[in-house]
Amino acid sequence: MRANDVMSTGVVTVGPDTPLIEAVRLMLQDEISGLPVVDANGRLVGIVTEGDLLRRHEIGTERYSPRWIEAFRMPALAEAFTRAHGRKVSDVMTSPVVTADPEASLSEIVDAMEKRQVNRVPVLQGENLVGIVSRADLLRAFAHATAAAPPPPAGDAAIQEKLWQDLSKQPWTLPATVSIVIRDGRIDLRGAVPDERYRHALKALAENVVGLSAVEDHLVTVPEEALKPPMRNLAKFLPATDGPGLNVQD
């Protein structure tokens, strides 16, 4: 999926000279957390977001710093004053803006969001603002994708094959001490894992094959040393199983 598959279009924008209170009302009314700022020529010059509105004199949240620090950073204080008291969008907006191309992949967008700590990325076609991808847009795409998930494979043999396929694609490997029992469309996880993280990963993998309610977890966590050959200590940790590996019981 790409940016233009998930972005919101018909983006609400404001100008640099728009009164801040008007921008705030727009955000509340439309339930959006950020507004791109465009100049008279339609060029993107900044973005004003909830994060830009947290340090304000109206709600008494201006940044405070001790007197002795203040003497060293007067210009920074002047800037903080502008952000806390300014009445125009341009006084508080964030600039420059992290933007994306309509063809950008969702991975690139999520990378940019995490690295630059932003919650929305305006999409530019050349110089024109054509849309915006917010975290909510990604969430919507995720909700659609999960709703359209393929049905679980029919028959225990098909389940087994799918499970093997998915396991072989992982950079982590199935511990040899785990046994997976597939019966009547249900997956039963048995045996020992060296680490809780394997238990969670195995459960998640199995749940992705047959669904949330069809997986049973009888795994026990055993410290790695106990699993090393000659596995003298193993027996006392393990419930009765059909031995390591993947079995289909009929």
Partner 1 sequence: MKIAELMTSPVVTIRPETSIAEAARLMLDRHVSGLPVVNAEGALVGILTEGDLIRRVELGTEPHRPRWVEFFGSTGRHAEEYVLTHGRKAGEIMTSEVVTIGEDASLTDAVSLMDKRHIKRLPVLAGGRVIGIVSRSDLVRALASLSPGASPAPATDAAIRARLRSELAAQNWVPKSVTFKVRGGVVDLQGVLFDDRCRGALRVLAENVPGVTKVEDRMIWVEPMTGIAIIDPVAAPSPPVGS
Nearer to partner 1, 9 or 82 (CB): 82
Nearer to partner 1, 143 or 248 (CB): 143
Q: Where are the beta strands (DSSP E) in 72-183?
A: 120-125, 128-134, 178-183
C-alpha torsion sign, points 95, 111, 118, 17: positive
Nearer to partner 1, 79 or 242 (CB): 79
Q: Which of 12, 45, 136, 226 binds partner 1 (CB under 8 A)?
A: 136
Residue with structure tokens 């195995």? 202
Q: Is 40 in the site for partner 1 (CB under 8 A)?
A: no
> 10 Å Cβ neighbour count for 95?
12
Mutual angle of helices 156-168 and 196-210, in 10-degree steps = 130
Helix (H, G, I), strand (E, B) or coil at 14: strand
Q: Is 228 in the site for partner 1 (CB under 8 A)?
A: no
Q: Is 77 in the site for partner 1 (CB under 8 A)?
A: yes
Read off φ and ψ for residue 60, nearest 5 degrees. Answer: 70, 35
Q: Is 214 in the site for partner 1 (CB under 8 A)?
A: no
Q: Which of 3, 37, 106, 187 binds partner 1 (CB under 8 A)?
A: 106
- The distance of closest approach from Cβ of residue 250 to partner 1 in the complex, given in angstroms and rounded to an integer, is 28
Q: Is 176 in the site for partner 1 (CB under 8 A)?
A: no
Q: Is 58 in the site for partner 1 (CB under 8 A)?
A: yes
Read off φ and ψ for residue 182, nearest 5 degrees. Answer: -115, 120
For 79, 101, 133, 170, 179, the CA distances from 138, given in Å and listed in that order, are 34, 16, 7, 25, 37
Contacts 24+ apart (CB under 8 A), 203-209: 205/163, 205/166, 205/167, 205/170, 206/163, 206/180, 208/166, 209/152, 209/153, 209/159, 209/162, 209/163, 209/166
Q: Is 162 in the site for partner 1 (CB under 8 A)?
A: no
Q: Which of 9, 95, 105, 233 binds partner 1 (CB under 8 A)?
A: 105
Q: Is 198 in the site for partner 1 (CB under 8 A)?
A: yes
Nearer to partner 1, 43 or 140 (CB): 140
Structure tokens at 146: 């999960």
Residues that bind partner 1 (CB under 8 A): 1, 21, 24-25, 27-28, 31, 33, 50-51, 53-56, 58-61, 64, 67, 70-71, 74-79, 81-82, 85-87, 91, 105-107, 110, 113, 117, 119, 135-136, 138-143, 145-147, 149, 170-173, 194-195, 197-198, 200-201, 203-205, 207-208, 212
